[in-house]
Every structure is written in C-alpha cells, then in structure tokens.
C-alpha cells in the first residue's frame, strides 16, 4: 500500500511519515498527475455550459492530492534530503513543469474559463470566488492564452531565449566567482579576520596543496574581509574582484546577456499588452504599477540620503581618529563602520545568548500568539514526523477548536539546506461541506545543545524564529475556500508582512519579559541590554537604506524601459544610480553584471519589495505601539489580515487594518532616519 495514494486515516489526516518511504513518491506523483489530468479532461468534456463551479472551481480542486504529494516531497528535499530524493527531484521537476504548462496551454480549457470570465456579472459569485476567477483567468492570459498564430509562436520563442539567457547570466557570475583565488603565506595580510575564517583558509590551502592560506570569492569570505580585514589592500583586492564580476572583458562578460534579457522581457510584456516588464510584473503585486514603486523609492530617498551621508560622516570621523586617511573608498566603509559599532555599542552575542534558550524563545512565541490571538499549542508525540528531532504540535484557537498542525525542526543536519523557512504540507480549504485545516512547518538551523548547555540562540536567531513563526501564523490561521488563495498564498510584496511584524515583539521589554530569562539564574534580560539591541538595529540604517534604494532604482531602470535598450551598460547604470551613490565609481566595476537577483532569480521589478515589506510591517506595528502591543482589539483587526490570506486584495486588507494606505513614516522612525 502506498500511503501517498491511499492516505491512511491518521489524527487530523496528517501524513503518515513513519510509513512513507522514498520509493512511494514517484508512483504517487504519477498517479495523482493522471487523476488531475483526467479531471481536467472531464471539465472540458462536460456537456453543461461553462460555469464558475463546473470549470474554475473544478480546476482549482483537480490537483489537490498532487499538491499534497509534491509539497511533502519538496519539503523533504529541503529538510531531509539524500541522493535518492535528489535523483527523483531531477526527474519529477520537469514532469511537473510540463504538466503545468500543458494546463495553461490547454485551449479548450481556456475557452471555458474565458466564457465564465465574460459572463461573470450574470453568475452570483462570492467575493472569494470572483477573486479565484480573476486570478485563474489572468494566469492563462499572462501565459499567452489570448494570443493567436504568429504571436503565440513569438511568445514561445521569447520564453526560450529568456530561460537560456538567465542560465548563462548565472553561469558567468559563477565562473567569475570561481576563477578568483587568493593565497598568501604572510599571515599579517589576514589581520583582523575571525579565527574561523583563518582556520578555514588554512584547511583550504592544505586541501589544495598550497602553502599558507587559500581563500575564494564566495559571499561569506567576501563579507568577512570587507568587515574585518584590517589591511586595506586586501579589502581593495577583494572589492575590485567582487564588484567586477561579469564586467571583465572576457567570455564571461554579462553586458550582452543583460541586453538580451531586458529587451526580450520588454518584448514579452508588450506582446501581452503591457508597456514594460515592470508594468506586467507589478500588475500582480500590491504595489500595482511602476509609478507607485518609483515614487515609493523617491520618497524614501529624500530622507535616507541625508541620513546615509550622516552615517558616512560618522564613520569617516571615527576612521580618521584611528589614523585612516580620507576620503574613505568603498572597500573601507564596512570595515570602519564595524569598528565604530564595536566601539560604541559593545553588544556581544555571547552576553545575550544565555537569555535566549531555544525552548524559552519558542514558548515566548507561543505566549505572544496566545495573548494576541488566543492560540494554544499542545505537543503531540502521536503525530508522526519525518525525523526524530522534529516536534509536532496541535494548535487550538481561542474557542478551543482545532486550528492546525505545526511541525518544528530546529537543528542543522546533513540533508537539510541552510537558512530558515516556513512551509506547508497541507493548505487550508473547504470542499464538499468539509473544512480542512492546514499543516504548517518551520525549519531552522540553530546551534545545537551541548552536553552541558541547552540550545542558546543569538539575538539574530531569536528574530529569525519569530519571523518564521509569523509566516506560520499566516498559514495556521487561514480561513477560506480555495487552497490557491488561502494562507501565505498572497501577492509577493505582501507575504513578508506577517513574518516581519512578529519580529517587532523581540524588541519590546514587555514581550521579552515573557521569555528572555537567563537559563541558569532565571534573571530577566536587563533593560540596558534591550536599549542596546534597539540601538544596534538602527546602526547605519541610513546608509543601508540608501544601498537598498540604489539596487531598487537600478532594477526599475532596467525593467521599466519602454523601448528596446541599445546603449552602453556602464553608462546606463551610472545614470540610473547617480543619486544613490555616496562613493565615486571604481573603474571597471559594475553592479548590473552580477545582479543575479534580477537577471537570474525571480526578483526582476521586485527588488523594491524588501523595503516595501519593511514599510508595511513598521506601519502596521505602529498601531500596536500606539494602542498596546498586546491590545486585543488591534490583534483582532490584524487577525483579519492573517485569516484572509490571498482571498482579499492586499491593499484592501491593509487599509482596513490601518484606516489608510501604508505610510513610510513609521519605518523611518524605527530606523532612526527621521527626527521623530
């Protein structure tokens, strides 16, 4: 028996991990894919005229079980993988892509959806149903369903070109990164670097059979050198190498690739009836239009730029006092600002960690959720999990009704990827009069307990836990009908609101008092430490904000082009970023040619969303600050955002909560950028 085909009757219909073996995934995925295909065929073959229910809703539920099996599979591929699972992933991923494409290109299916769309006024549909119809119809249209003949072929050709260009962009950056190496036998060159980096460099040299120390250009090494290496010539060497990736005159140069990418993206957008790639992308974002994003970036810039200049001045003054010569160059800033931070804040992870025992912090997150939303968490060892270190909780709402299953998986293992994330094994939905509650998971890589010490978190890990827990609340509290709209299935620039807002409680004395206690003495985290934590959150925020804006403007410049780009990449970048640069350009360096977020990953016309999400969370949290961080009334209003997921438009949800559209003021205040 395959427990992913015949789902056994377990508590809350949780997955029977104890009985699932790797061999079950492929047959189950194939089985449910053919079931989904058959259901789609039935929709098309239905002799009844198309209606929302026999077409759009039927399509929504056609892949329900396939979704459960693939979620389970890809969640395990992230949290508990092995070579066998990776081999299946290589086979399964293209199958799923093909299935998805065939669905979106199914002409007869689209004609029925289009008929439902055109008669939408005559069917009496709930608000949620209207939203599902709109999202379904538009996803087909954005895939070219309305295009005929030659235009259809053009779109296919563009998509091919784009995926190939995206791949070569990434390969070039990778090759350039790998081509760099630094070796030295002179330890004084590495002065200032943390012990761990030195050990690693020594080991790497041994492995490569060279004498002394060996270092590459990977991100962690680069960051360590910028922050800690006291020899400016080493920092300069690394800066120039890092910032010229893809810009060197060799076969890995990305300037032509960028031209292809931006021009083909533009061509695709215009084929689909949009003026630019940004306009196409942003039509499915809370921000909505390029103009909104551009004026958002401009508004922030007005205050961030003077603040950044002040930050730079402070760092320059400090550096000069310490004997450095001015002006500072771009490779000097991180180093001197790190030194300044140490001199003024003296806030050390080792001092704070004893106050943040993992179980205490998790209990704190549960307690905050209880005070705000009345949730209760009960560990249940009867629920089967995929690893002995994973805990399963039953979560109950304020009325005592079962709300969700929550899995927690906290420690690093081989087979788990780095980082921290929230994911779901089952979305929330209602079907045939039955309500199905979600199964949510948070996965982290925290420091393990040792023989004589419990797991103690750095402050950064504390906020990470609250962040992922915020995503989990969004998933667990979901209410709605359609799985593609519930929980965290919201527009991309809205999804970080629930997670980031939860981090705010980690800076509040009244919240910290609930869980930040010394694991040996029981002493509550001293107020003076909290003040320093808050202050360190603001340290160099003006500078950091301007840097984010610089990337945001560059991204928008490339993607809100409304006619094909013919010019010079170097000049274009200089023009797009001239207002957000504090240092003179270093000859030969270029951001665009290694800007993988927007040219390889999915952040094109989306880089602004980092700051956008911060604005939302700071603005929303300000209401808690004004009316009480545990105010039931505010929490109730905020719960509507959490419960609604993507069933209601994000700007509507925000406005209902705050009584107005989002404002940047609260973020600027929190970052210490505005006067008050």
User: What tokens were used for 447?
Assistant: 């420091």
Query: Least distance in Å: CB of 85 to Zn ion?
Result: 24
CB 50 within 8 A of CB 116: yes
The smaller minimum CB distance to Zn ion, of residues 77 and 499, is found at 499
The smaller minimum CB distance to Zn ion, of residues 279 and 443, is found at 443
Three-state DSSP class for residue 253: coil
Query: Least distance in Å: CB of 467 to Zn ion?
Result: 6
User: What tokens were used for 122?
Assistant: 């005559």
> Binding-site residue total for Zn ion (CB under 5 A)?
1
The smaller minimum CB distance to Zn ion, of residues 57 and 493, is found at 493
Query: Least distance in Å: CB of 608 to Zn ion?
Result: 16
544 contacts: CB under 8 Å, gap ≥ 6 = none
Beta-strand relationship, 402-409 and 391-396? antiparallel
Per the document, the length of the chain is 676
Q: Which residue is nearest to Zn ion (CB)?
A: 499
Handedness of CA 113, 118, 122, 125 (dihedral sign): positive
Check binding of 55 to Zn ion (CB under 5 A): no
The smaller minimum CB distance to Zn ion, of residues 176 and 614, is found at 614
Query: Least distance in Å: CB of 468 to Zn ion?
Result: 7
CB 621 within 8 A of CB 641: no
Q: Please, which of residues 444-503 interact with Zn ion by CB under 5 A?
A: 499
Query: Least distance in Å: CB of 314 to Zn ion?
Result: 31
Q: How far apart are CA 271 and CA 205, in angstroms?
A: 53
Q: How far apart are CA 352 and CA 538, in angstroms?
A: 18
Q: Please, which of residues 380-399 interact with Zn ion by CB under 5 A?
A: none
Three-state DSSP class for residue 442: strand
Catalytic status, residue 468: yes
The smaller minimum CB distance to Zn ion, of residues 70 and 499, is found at 499
CB 647 within 8 A of CB 640: no
Secondary structure of 368-399 as H, E, C letters: HHHHHHCCEEEECCCCCCCCCCCEEEEEECCC
CB 59 within 8 A of CB 102: no
Query: Least distance in Å: CB of 74 to Zn ion?
Result: 17
Q: Which of 176, 468, 541, 622 is catalytic?
A: 468
Nearest Cα neighbor of 272 from 166, 161, 135, 158 is: 158
Number of H helices, E strands in the chain: 27, 9
The smaller minimum CB distance to Zn ion, of residues 13 and 537, is found at 537
Q: Please, which of residues 157-196 interact with Zn ion by CB under 5 A?
A: none
Query: Least distance in Å: CB of 498 to Zn ion?
Result: 9
Instruction: Name the DSSP letter for residue 507.
Output: G
Q: What are phi and psi of 168, to 5 degrees?
A: -70, -35
The smaller minimum CB distance to Zn ion, of residues 183 and 537, is found at 537
Give the active site residues: 468
Residues lying near Zn ion in the complex (CB under 5 A) are found at 499
């Amino acid at each position: 028996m395959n427990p992913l085909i015949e789902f056994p009757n377990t508590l809350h219909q949780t997955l029977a991990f104890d009985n699932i073996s790797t061999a079950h995934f492929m047959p189950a995925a194939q089985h449910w894919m053919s079931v989904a295909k058959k259901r789609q065929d039935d929709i098309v073959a239905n002799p009844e005229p198309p209606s929302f229910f026999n077409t759009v809703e039927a399509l929504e539920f056609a892949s329900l079980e396939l979704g459960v099996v693939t979620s389970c599979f890809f969640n395990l591929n992230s949290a508990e993988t092995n070579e066998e699972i990776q081999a299946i992933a290589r086979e399964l991923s293209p199958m799923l892509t093909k299935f998805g494409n065939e669905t979106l290109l199914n002409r007869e299916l689209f004609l029925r959806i289009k008929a439902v769309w055109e008669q939408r006024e005559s069917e009496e549909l709930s608000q949620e149903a209207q939203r599902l119809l709109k999202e379904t119809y538009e996803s087909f249209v954005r895939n070219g369903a309305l295009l005929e003949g030659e235009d259809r072929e053009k779109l296919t050709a563009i998509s091919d070109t784009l995926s190939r260009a995206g791949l070569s962009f990434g390969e070039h950056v990778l090759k350039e990164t790998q081509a760099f190496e630094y070796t030295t036998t002179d330890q004084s060159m590495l002065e200032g670097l943390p012990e761990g980096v030195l050990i690693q460099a020594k080991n790497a040299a041994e492995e490569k059979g060279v004498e002394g120390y060996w270092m590459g250009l990977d991100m962690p090494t680069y960051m360590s050198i910028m922050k800690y290496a006291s020899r400016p010539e080493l920092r300069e060497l690394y800066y120039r190498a890092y910032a010229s990736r893809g810009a060197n005159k060799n076969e890995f140069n990305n300037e032509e690739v960028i031209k292809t990418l931006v021009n083909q993206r533009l061509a695709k957008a215009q084929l689909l009836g949009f003026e630019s790639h940004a306009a196409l992308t942003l039509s499915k974002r809370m921000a909505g239009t390029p103009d909104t994003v551009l004026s958002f970036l401009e508004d922030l810039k007005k205050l961030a730029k003077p603040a950044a200049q002040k930050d730079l001045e402070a760092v320059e003054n400090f550096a000069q006092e310490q004997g450095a010569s001015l002006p500072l160059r771009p490779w000097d800033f991180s180093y001197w600002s790190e030194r300044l931070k140490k001199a003024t804040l003296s806030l050390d992870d080792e001092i704070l960690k004893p106050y943040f025992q993992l179980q205490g912090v998790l209990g704190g997150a549960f307690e905050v959720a209880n005070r705000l939303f009345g949730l209760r968490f009960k560990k249940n060892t009867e629920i089967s999990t995929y690893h002995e270190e994973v805990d399963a909780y039953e979560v109950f709402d304020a009325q005592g009704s079962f709300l969700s299953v929550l899995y927690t998986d906290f420690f690093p293992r081989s087979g788990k990827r780095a980082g921290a994330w929230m994911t779901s094994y089952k979305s929330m939905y209602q079907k045939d009069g039955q309500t199905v509650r979600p199964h949510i998971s948070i996965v982290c890589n925290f420091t393990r307990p040792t023989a004589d010490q419990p797991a103690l978190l750095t402050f950064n890990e504390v906020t990470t836990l609250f962040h992922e827990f915020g995503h989990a609340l969004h998933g667990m509290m979901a209410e709605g009908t359609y799985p593609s709209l519930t929980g965290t299935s919201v527009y991309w620039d809205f999804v970080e609101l629930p997670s980031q807002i939860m981090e705010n409680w980690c800076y509040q004395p009244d919240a910290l008092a609930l869980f930040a206690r010394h694991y040996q003495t029981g002493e509550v985290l001293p107020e003076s430490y909290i003040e320093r934590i808050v202050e360190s959150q603001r340290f160099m925020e003006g500078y950091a904000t301007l840097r984010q804006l610089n990337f945001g403007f560059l991204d928008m410049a490339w993607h809100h082009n409304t006619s094909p780009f013919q010019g010079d990449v170097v000049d274009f970048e200089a023009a797009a970023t001239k207002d957000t640069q504090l240092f003179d350009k270093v000859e030969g360096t270029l951001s665009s040619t290694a800007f993988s977020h927007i040219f390889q990953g999915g952040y094109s016309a989306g880089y602004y969303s980092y700051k956008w999400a911060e604005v939302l969370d700071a603005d929303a949290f300000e209401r808690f600050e004004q009316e009480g961080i545990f105010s039931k009334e505010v929490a109730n209003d905020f719960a509507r955002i959490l419960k609604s997921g993507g069933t209601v438009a994000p700007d509507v949800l925000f406005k209902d909560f705050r009584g107005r559209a989002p404002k940047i003021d609260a973020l600027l205040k929190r970052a210490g950028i505005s006067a008050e």
